[in-house]
Structure 1
Amino acid sequence: MRLPRVKFEHRPHRYEDGTIRIGGEIHGIAAEIEDPSGWVWTALCLMDGTRSREDIADRLRLAHPELPDAESVVEQLVATRYVEDAAAMPPAALSERELDRYSRNQAFFRVVGPGPHSWEVQLRLKSARVVVLGLGGTGSHAAWALAAAGVGEIHCVDPDLVELSNLNRQVLYGEADVGRPKSEAAVARLRGVNSDITVTGDRRRIGSRRELDTLIAGYDALALCADRPDGHGIRVWANRACAAARIPWVGGGYSGPLVTVGCFTPEAGTCYECLCDGEEARRRPGTPVDLGGPGVIATSAGLSGQFVAHALIGLLTGVSAPPVGVIRGVNLIAGDHHVWVSHPPRPGCPVCGTRARARFDSTERISPARPKQ
């Protein structure tokens, strides 16, 4: 970082007791720094985009001769999300059209993430390749959000045709698409949303773990928005396939007003199967499990898809990275009901028990027979 500058959105305030508040509630992020000697306040005031780090450290040392390590104070502040590089230029890998298209993305990322200017976050999205499996209520919203955000390559997979009953919540389709394959209609719509990315589609049903292995090969992440065959079973496949491929996956959905999302990576956190076992052990024996029915409105489907997309963006870029190894969510008819499912890994679990690379049999099958919802 050549010319450190405190971001305008995070300009600091100093209280009478010397405590510094940087950031603000309006942006959802803030920090307070105890600064009885005034070292940090001086450094922040010097970070106006006109001085190098070395110059700032020299001036800080002159202002506070008692300071043992001025360079360390400067480097710690530069490493935070509150400071940017006034000399940074947008990367050449982004065209003028892309700089304009993603300017609001950059404004968001520069506030919430570290880095010289946050355009590097957009570059990470541009280079990312994602599979969206399932293009219903959750998947259609997730695919739209990923395309709008600028994920460079999106592969859309779904076996179904568009039905009139889908149109109350599935954002990629209109009345003219009824009877058309969802994958085909979704690809056409997403290409219209963003012609600067690559969108492909495949009308197919994933019927085995081996097929899922093949589908995700070469991709960076999986958005699992399908619930067939057997909603739990396909998540088990994803848990194992993504662990073997060393890529993260995000699963989301809704049950009536309850909207949930789970994020899983091969490097950290509890895996999906261990979470399920932990919840099963927590329940009182004989407790019925209601997985919901077809009841859904546009808002619950939309939120679930947006949660999935937001989590994937965080995993792909490292900015606003979501908690992994947990399932979290909200209840749309009970504002104080927040879902947070967390359990430790099972001893010896090949996915998360030792965090070692998993080896699983890829021939498991689950019957695709399932009542239509």
Structure 2
Amino acid sequence: MRFPRIKPEHAPHRLDDGTIRLGGAMYGIASEIRDTDGWAWSALALMDGTRPPTAIAAELCAAFATLTPDDAHGIVTTLLSSGHVEDAVPAPCAELSEREQERYRRNREFFRWVDLTPREHGWEPQVRLKSARVLVLGLGGTGSHAAWSLAAAGVGRLHLVDPDVVELSNLNRQILYTEADVGRPKTEAALERLRRVNSDIEITGEQAAVDGPEHLARLVGGFHALALCADRPREPYGIQTWANRVCAAAGIPWVSGGYNGPLVSVGVFGPGGPCFECVRAGIPPQPGDGYAWPGVTGASAGLSGQLVAHDVLTLVTGLARTPPGYFHGLTLLDPDAHVYARYPARNECEICC
């Protein structure tokens, strides 16, 4: 890092006991530093983007007579590796064109905020998105929002699969379609719309219903992640179970989302965490499990789809802070009822063992 500075969103705050807080606890990326001697606080003040690390260490030594050069170097190195610091003069990014950098610059601002890995130029997560291949299965309320968000974010290749045609009753929540699309295959209308959203990526599709795990295995081949937004056939032993087993065999992560009235929930699964069947086994049965409750608005469908897209993005960029193997979400009528469920792998599970 040539000219380090504290990321503006991570501005440090010092408590009365000398503890330094960086990142903001409410964002889930906070760090605390015990700094009774004031060395770290002084080093952070020097990280204003005008000095190289060697100069910061030298000025730190000059300010504190008891601080050795090795200790000063260690303090600076630790802060540089914390993820709360960036280069004021980032290296150029050869992998993205000027057009792509203009299109995705707001993505970059988000990623550099939440990314605690030191980077050369901050575009590294976007470069991963550009090379990513994601399969979106289901283009209804959840899937239409997820597909739009993934396309807009710059996923390099999307493949869309859905068996249905657009119906008038879909239009209260399915963002990709208009009245003129009623009667058209959803994949056809979605491809047309999304290619107009982002012509810089590859988007393909097919009108098909997944009829078994073998079919799903053929579909996921060559993809980096699955966004499962279809709900047929239903559990038990339905399409989520198929995805659990097929994606485990392929070694790829998958995200599944949906809604039951005001309850919006998303599951995140993949290598490194307990599988869907283990986590699902630990959740007590809920009213409406296994049924297609018709109550949904554009807002509730949109939340489920956007959460699916967000989780897919964190997985393919490597920015996921929680290992796979959990459900999360919210209940729209109760702001205190945050959904989070994670259960350990069962001893007899052939997928997790």
CA distances 1:215-242 after superposition (whole Å, capped 9, x unpaired): 0111100000001122441111110111
Q: Which residue of 1 aligns with 2:215?
A: 211
Q: Which residue of 1 aligns with 2:84?
A: 82
Task: Report the alpha carbon displacement of residue 64 of structure 1 after superposing the two structures with TM.
Answer: 3.0
Q: Which residue of 1 aligns with 2:183?
A: 179
The alignment status of 1:252 with 2:248, answered yes or no, reads: no
**8 Å contact from structure 1 (residues 315, 321) kept in 2:** no
Name the CA distance, whole Å, in 2 between partners of 1:256 and 1:222: 24
Q: Which residue of 2 aligns with 1:334?
A: 334
The alignment status of 1:197 with 2:220, answered yes or no, reads: no
TM-score by length of structure 1 reads 0.88
Long gaps (5+) in structure 1: 355-373
TM-score by length of structure 2 reads 0.92
> Which segment drifts farther, 150-159 or 269-278?
269-278
Q: 1:148 to 1:322 in 2, by over 3 A?
A: farther
Name the CA distance, whole Å, in 1 between partners of 2:157 and 2:208: 19
Q: 1:244 to 1:96 in 2, by over 3 A?
A: same
The structure 2 residue matched to 1:238, chosen from 224, 235, 243, is: 243
Task: Report the alpha carbon displacement of residue 292 of structure 1 after superposing the two structures with TM.
Answer: 4.8
CA distances 1:111-167 after superposition (whole Å, capped 9, x unpaired): 221333421111111111000000000000000000111111110000110111100
> Which segment drifts farther, 79-88 or 58-67?
58-67
Name the CA distance, whole Å, in 2 between partners of 1:66 and 1:252: 56
Name the CA distance, whole Å, in 2 between partners of 1:169 and 1:260: 17
Counterpart secondary structure, 2:334: coil
The structure 2 residue matched to 1:152, chosen from 132, 153, 156, is: 156
Matched length? 348
> Which segment drifts farther, 54-63 or 196-205?
54-63
Q: Which residue of 2 aligns with 1:132?
A: 136
Long gaps (5+) in structure 2: none
> Which segment drifts farther, 231-240 or 8-17?
8-17
Q: Which residue of 1 aligns with 2:165?
A: 161
Task: Report the alpha carbon displacement of residue 25 of structure 1 after superposing the two structures with TM.
Answer: 6.6
CA distances 1:191-233 after superposition (whole Å, capped 9, x unpaired): 1111111111011111111111110111100000001122441
Q: Which amino acid aligns with 1:9?
A: E
**8 Å contact from structure 2 (residues 260, 288) kept in 1:** no
**8 Å contact from structure 1 (residues 315, 322) kept in 2:** no
What does 1:303-314 align with in structure 2 at a 5 Å threshold?
A: 303-314=303-314
The alignment status of 1:271 with 2:296, answered yes or no, reads: no
Q: Which residue of 2 aligns with 1:112?
A: 114
Q: Which residue of 1 aligns with 2:20?
A: 20
**8 Å contact from structure 1 (residues 137, 305) kept in 2:** yes
> Which segment drifts farther, 19-28 or 57-66?
19-28
**8 Å contact from structure 2 (residues 235, 290) kept in 1:** no
**8 Å contact from structure 1 (residues 81, 111) kept in 2:** no
Q: Which residue of 2 aligns with 1:35?
A: 35
Name the CA distance, whole Å, in 1 between partners of 2:218 and 2:26: 45
Q: 1:16 to 1:335 in 2, by over 3 A?
A: closer
Task: Report the alpha carbon displacement of residue 329 of structure 1 after superposing the two structures with TM.
Answer: 1.3
Could you tell me the percent identity over the aligned residues?
57
Q: Which amino acid aligns with 1:337?
A: A
Name the CA distance, whole Å, in 1 between partners of 2:144 and 2:290: 25
